Amino acid sequence: LTGKIGIQEESEVTIELACEMREVISLHLGRAGCNVGHECWQLYNFDYDVSSSGEKKEGREIESISRMYTETKKGIFSPRAILCDSEPDLIRKIQNDDSGRFYNSEMFLAGTENSAGVFAKGYHSISSELLEPICDKIRKQFEDCDSPEGFLITTGYGGGTGSGFASKLYETLQSEYYRKYKIVFPGFSHRDRLSASHEVYNELMALSQDLTDVEVSIPFDNEKLNEISHRHLKVQDSWLDASNQIMAQTISGITTHLRYPGHAFEDLQDFQTSLVPYPPIHFCLSSCQPLISSSSHSTTPIYQITTQCFNRSYVMMPTGYEDGYFLSCGLIWRGDMSPAAANRPVADLKTRGGFKWVDWCPTGFKCGLNYHSPVVKPNGIIGSSDRAVTVVANNCAINGPFQEIVQKFQKLLNKRAFVHWYTREGFEYSEFKECEENILQLLSDYREISLETDDFDNDE
């Protein structure tokens, strides 16, 4: 049984059943995007009882599997996914690994040129090589669908392919698939482990493109993921693998009702209509619980894991929910629990001090309950649990991390540092300033929302 928890004025919980499910295409771009995407598909396979060779194990039948997978005449399930990188090494590694045998081999795409970690090279040079081939593969995926709804995209905004090529692809998708939704999960670089100082250029430029061509963006910060892996999962090395698994676990929670019938975030349009009050204000924070070491198994009650999920130490960006105003908030539960048990922490969160809502949306929780047990990657770094919860929230606190990116961008640009790497690839200096202005306007929009609510509270 799956469905939506509707929080009514009387604080009662109701269950509604599912409607038609439409196909979703996953795009995994660049090294970071492919690594995270591969982690996600290993979780989805385990969730659907699909083996590493694509065979469906005997047991429960899940009608919604066709939303994420395509089935061959031989009964092999392969993901509706495309993995693309400018270099062949990672693509070959995934193809040749036992865990990657379930992919359709035609849906891998590798270039022959390194993007050099430069947005402009990804946007121009890499796109000239890879844009047409990936669009051909997307068309093939669409031809295999009855009613495709849109895209789930994983990428990394610090790299040249994940920022520049992804941005060019966003433009193309917006033009060719205007009515198809794009939900993007971008990764941001670890500030202490930058492979190059100019990565902040890539991040701000990609954010600028994201601003105009993406419906919902749910970013992850590698530094914060690393902190979570050390503090809560007790991982002392392999921080990048740990970060990828945490990111995949959160994405798996967010997309629960895309993969199982339900009415809370049960299609891509629902993410936009439930979370985004204005098109530019579409960047959301996320967190999930429980995050425990692989040697443990959690039986923590639903009330505790739900309230823990709002602790700033579990938010996937370097900020906390209490630092800004909520514009909207979604909670997605999985596992052994009752609707009444899920209702209690929501009722408490509504009245908890420290959490602030914009005045025009004072109780904007959208909640979903799924009774299938949560899954974790076998032999991974995250421990299993009887129940789990994921939060995705549009909160003005995201202004803080974006402000930090702008400040670092401005420091570099004022010195014209590394600019030549971009101009030699066809990028104009005026384009730096245009991207900066776009994000400054975004920051201004967030501040205006907060100030309007502050003024309303003072008038009260």
Give the model's pLDDT for residue 211: 97
Give the model's pLDDT for residue 355: 84
Lowest mean pLDDT among 121-125, 186-190, 277-281: 186-190
What percentage of the chain carries pLDDT values higher than 70?
91
Give the model's pLDDT for residue 414: 95
* Distance, CA of 408 to CA of 196 (rounded, Å): 13
Give the model's pLDDT for residue 2: 36
User: Of the spans 67-76, 176-185, 256-265, which averages the highest pLDDT?
Assistant: 176-185
CB 35 within 8 A of CB 185: no
Average pLDDT on 82-107 reads 93
- Tens-digit pLDDT profile for residues 212-231: 999 999 999 999 999 999 99
Q: Per-residue confidence at 61, pLDDT binned at 50, 70, 90?
A: low
Give the model's pLDDT for residue 265: 87
Average pLDDT on 13-40 reads 80
Q: What is the chain's mean pLDDT, rounded?
A: 89
CB 288 within 8 A of CB 388: yes
Q: Is the pLDDT of residue 253 over 80?
A: yes
Number of Cα atoms under 13 Å in the Cβ half of residue 39: 26
Q: Is the pLDDT of residue 394 over 50?
A: yes
Tokens at residue 343, please?
Answer: 């209702």
Lowest mean pLDDT among 103-112, 256-265, 315-324: 256-265
Give the model's pLDDT for residue 337: 86
| Reported pTM | 0.93
Task: List, in sequence order, the alpha helices (H) in 49-198.
Answer: 65-68, 88-96, 119-121, 127-143, 160, 166-176
Residue 41 β-bridge partners:
none
Q: Per-residue confidence at 412, pLDDT binned at 50, 70, 90?
A: very high
Q: Per-residue confidence at 15, pLDDT binned at 50, 70, 90?
A: very low
Lowest mean pLDDT among 85-94, 148-157, 221-230, 259-268: 259-268
Per DSSP (E only), the strands in 170-324 are 181-188, 216-217, 220-221, 285-289, 297-298
- Tens-digit pLDDT profile for residues 306-360: 999 999 999 999 999 999 999 999 999 999 888 888 889 988 887 777 788 898 8
* Distance, CA of 295 to CA of 329 (rounded, Å): 32
Q: Is the pLDDT of residue 29 over 60?
A: yes
What percentage of the chain carries pLDDT values higher than 90?
69
